[in-house]
Chain A
Amino acid sequence: MSEPVLVLEDLRVTYRTSGGAVPAVRGVSLEIPAGGSLGLAGESGCGKSTIAGAVLRLLPGTAEVSGRVLLAGKDVYELKPGGLRAVRWTAGAIVFQGALHALNPVQRIGDQIAEPMLVHQTVSTPKAAKTRVAELLESVGIPARRAAAYPHQLSGGQRQRVLIAMALACDPQLLIADEPTTALDVMVQAQVLELLADLRRQRDLALLFITHDLSLLTTYCDRLAIMYAGRIVEEGPSGDVFAGPSHPYTRGLAAAFPRIGDRSSRMAPSGLGGDPPDPAALPAGCPFHPRCPLARPECREAEPALRISGPERRAACILV
């Protein structure tokens, strides 16, 4: 097997705040093989977006990071500024949510797509950059002549396509997509995600897809990792995890996305109840125990580690 494109080893991120240290990521280890895809799911505040920022070293100065991040074999936190710049965009690129805010409103989209290529010198002349911008726009389904448009002249779906084109500009091996379609309509969301799936097939591009929408991940990712309170609580092949969750948290989260046509969810919306824990004040023991329908007294004592729960599957629950 070839070298994984992304390896996280015991990644920990703590934010220093006026109210004290807030642990956002508390020891996450994972791997994405070249061309593979991993979906990272969880509620607000579980640490999933912090992981996206940590991979490309984009976190604010108040974040303390420990553990290792290996992107295309390079330890991101050992790199000098020059090496870091080289790794961003060329090894790993990120597509954020809210394309309106991620694009510069007063710069033509063609120039915005060309910028990383010129900075990283993946093209030698502005003319070559222009040709490449045209190819990239066509590849995301936007006519090349639209390169002269400003972001406000495009629809939400088109802007998200521009962000994808920009992320692909330097031919990265890994794309990190953080809620890439949250603000979009369902049909536009499907268009953008199918486009992403096509591009991945053509370019053998690996994907780290971060969202709260578990049902999207099962369609677009090979593997799934569920996060709760800064840790992975379950992982495995996405279809298996969604269809037969091992961890009670995954079960609650999966039930929130009803299958249309499934009689058991008709007139019976289901959820977990309760709220995600405050990262600054995590419950003792298993952090999920206050919301867990199956909690036992011993769940209050020690936080369970991930252990094997099936073929290629792990879960962090004493009942597994």
Chain B
Amino acid sequence: MHPGVTPLVEARDVHVHFGTARAVDGVSISVMPGEVVALVGESGSGKTTLIRALQGLQPVTSGEIRIRGAEPEWKGRAGRRTFHDPGIQMVFQDPTGALNPRHTIYEIVAEGLRIQGRRDDEEELVATAMARAGLRPPERFFSLYPHQISGGQRQRVVIAGALVMEPSLLLADEPVASLDASIRGEILALFRSLVDESGLAVLVVTHDLGLAWNIADRIAVMYLGRIVEVGAVEEVLAEPQHPYTRALLSVVPGRDEKPQLLKGEIPDLRNVPSGCRFHPRCPLLQSGLLPEEVAARCVGEDPGRIGLEEIRAAACWAVAR
């Protein structure tokens, strides 16, 4: 899809199992420079485990992770291998919980640099990162404590703490879920402008399809450890193919369609249904409108994993691939 461009991060058929629980069960995904990818799913879909694996914090059971085209520098013994790459930084969801209340804003933003060893240009790097995160003029915030600034500014401090490491990829887990609606727009606009202005890439984990519409180029929808649909945001949200994506879109408040409620909740990861893992809740299968041979496949045969080379795909027997 981007010939000649090396992805910042690539996961090939990554599995993360916790005992018999298959939290991530064969996922392939890539993020290109200058791109925002939204990873959408509900609790229990495996999206948080997947980004922890991409960040190097979560050992993977099998599969391959590549950072800027190369194997990361794995540390630790087999089965427990992790890696650390300062080019990948994480932005956490709750800014109040993520900030040490007894540290000044300057110390909080400088922390990542100091872990790597003190450097002479620290103040300059901190000021630059804060300005990029929209804390201007940065000097005004240096000696303040988290409780002295607003919720929106606290989220900017969290982002500055990531930017100070000069990352090429930000991983953001529900970056605006705990913020007021009015602040949400500002923070999303900040992510988008960082990407547009400096070629940074963002992989954002969210349950909010409106967020994807607001800032993402591509979207991947996860269900029970697998990506079930991928594509450009415009295509997936205008014409969702997978019945799960369709249902998720139908329950976005304020839409003109009737909400398509799925029965029950996401099944237990230790007990992934046979055939298509979505089939026990699939409204398309339950409608009885599928040809008999397709319905038999839904129940009995895994529709398989979506590969890295697939630009637009849905893992569904009722959708041609």
Contact = CB atoms under 8 A, between A and B. Distances in A.
Interface stretch (A94-102, A172-180, A258-266, A293-301): A258-266
Contacts of B182: 43, 252-253, 256, 271-274, 276
Nearest to A195: B261
Contact of A267 (B42, B180, B215, B254): B215
Interface string A190-201: 110010000000
A257 interface: yes
Interface string A209-248: 0001111101100000000000000000000001000000
Given A213-B181, A260-B249, A194 B259 contact: yes
Interface stretch (B80-88, B101-109, B120-128, B185-193): B185-193
A258 B253 contact: no
Given A269-B214, A271-B189, A273-B186, 12 more contacts: A44-B180, A186-B207, A186-B208, A187-B248, A191-B261, A191-B262, A212-B181, A219-B254, A257-B181, A260-B210, A268-B214, A269-B215
A188 to B, nearest CB: 6
B214 A271 contact: no
Interface in B193-226: 207-211, 213-215
Contacts of B248: 186-187
Contacts of A194: 259, 261
Interface string B143-186: 00000001111000000000000000000000000001111111
Interface residues of B, number: 39
B176 to A, nearest CB: 9
A259 B265 CA distance: 26
B255 A260 contact: yes
Contacts of A267: 192, 214-215
A66 interface: no
B238 interface: yes
A139 to B, nearest CB: 16
A270 B252 contact: no
A213 B247 contact: no
Contacts of A318: none
Interface in A155-206: 155, 157, 185-191, 194
B237 interface: yes
A275 interface: yes
Given A157-B265, A258-B213, A275-B150, A186 B237 contact: no
Among B247, B248, B252, chain A packs the most CB atoms within 10 A around the CB of: B252
Given A212-B181, A260-B249, A276-B182, A269 B192 contact: yes
A271 B179 CA distance: 12
A65 interface: no
Given A260-B210, A267-B192, A186 B252 contact: yes
A255 interface: yes
Contacts of A253: 181-182
Contact of B237 (A44, A213, A260, A275): A260
Nearest to A212: B181
Across the A-B interface, give the 3 residue pairs with the lowest CB-CB distance, nearest first. A271-B185, A269-B188, A190-B251
B254 A257 contact: yes
Contact of B184 (A44, A260, A271): A271
Interface in B243-285: 247-249, 251-255, 259, 261-262, 265
A269 B265 contact: no
Interface of A: 43-44, 155, 157, 185-191, 194, 212-216, 218-219, 242, 252-253, 255-261, 265-276
B214 A258 contact: yes
A4 B100 CA distance: 49
B62 interface: no
Contacts of B234: 266
Given A194-B259, A261-B237, A189 B251 contact: yes
25 contacts: A43-B180, A185-B42, A185-B43, A186-B248, A187-B247, A187-B261, A190-B251, A190-B259, A194-B259, A212-B181, A216-B253, A252-B182, A258-B214, A260-B209, A265-B213, A266-B213, A266-B214, A269-B188, A269-B214, A270-B185, A270-B189, A274-B182, A275-B150, A275-B151, A275-B153
A261 B254 contact: no
A158 to B, nearest CB: 8
A27 B150 CA distance: 26
A97 B275 CA distance: 37
B267 to A, nearest CB: 11
A256 B184 contact: yes
A212 B210 contact: no
A255 B261 contact: no
Among B153, B185, B248, chain A packs the most CB atoms within 10 A around the CB of: B185
Contacts of A214: 181
B124 to A, nearest CB: 28
Among A214, A219, A242, A271, chain B packs the most CB atoms within 10 A around the CB of: A271
B265 A215 contact: no
Nearest to A271: B185
B249 to A, nearest CB: 7
Given A185-B42, A258-B214, A261-B237, A190 B261 contact: yes
A285 B282 CA distance: 55
Contacts of A255: 185
Given A218-B254, A219-B253, A258 B181 contact: no
Contacts of A44: 151, 180
A55 B153 CA distance: 34
Contacts of A190: 251, 259, 261
A260 B207 contact: no
Contact of A269 (B189, B253, B254): B189
A252 B150 CA distance: 18
A157 B261 CA distance: 13
